[in-house]
Amino acid sequence: MIDVSGLRRSYTRAGLSRSDLTSKPIPLFEKWLQECIDAGLYDPNGVVVSTVNAQGQPHSRMVLLKGYDEKSLIFYTNFGSRKAHDIAENNKVCLLFPWYYLERQVIFTGTAERMSAAESIKYFHSRPRDSQIGAWASHQSSRISARSVLEKAFHEIKEKFKDGEIPLPSFWGGFRVTFDSVEFWQGRENRLHDRFMYTKTDSGWDIERWAP
């Protein structure tokens, strides 16, 4: 067994004070996201989506953020996936951006709902063609006997649509997560991290500092 008990480092890159905050969470999120991009982080839009099924079992997985506005975040997936089944049973979700290199985390909580086919089509056709084919070939979260099954399906779909536009699969599309709380976490020395919680209210956003 690897002894992980001694693996640690001190977080000294930056701090987060109330004067750094914006009145709404998205401008600060956007600032931090841009700093991740500027720092050359791999997959700066990578986000851990956590769902809970009807039996109360949580599941987490990484997806890519593909859009956002002042009220919501967007990601795309196969509607046959485990995450989609979980959301159909319980649409409360959590999205975590784990920006380890900058010693930061941002956590959104809210509710997810399917986007319209028209909205999903626009994004689907912006994807690389092979990614569009991949969406057709993979029945996400289903069991397969070997990778060759997946690759065979990919080549069959590629041949099927070789002469024209690839249509949006009926089983694939976007989820819009409307958030009601956002936590900004900045690592600090001695584990005295900075944490600020934005909570949606009828009049705007309430902001509180939380103990680490």
> How many helices and strands, by DSSP H and E, does the chain display?
5, 9
Q: Which two tokens stand for residue 79?
A: 């509607």
Determine the length of the chain.
212
User: Is 191 known to be catalytic?
Assistant: yes
**What is the rounded radius of gyration, in angstroms, for the C-alpha atoms of the chain?**
20
User: Binding site for FMN: which residues?
Assistant: 61-66, 76-77, 82-83, 105, 140-141, 185, 195
User: Binding site for substrate: which residues?
Assistant: 8-11, 66, 123, 127, 131, 191-193
- Secondary structure E strands in the chain: 46-52, 58-64, 67-68, 72-78, 92-99, 104-114, 172-186, 194-201, 204-210
Active-site position among 13, 104, 188, 191: 191
User: Binding site: which residues?
Assistant: 8-11, 61-66, 76-77, 82-83, 105, 123, 127, 131, 140-141, 185, 191-193, 195
**Catalytic residue positions, numbered:** 191
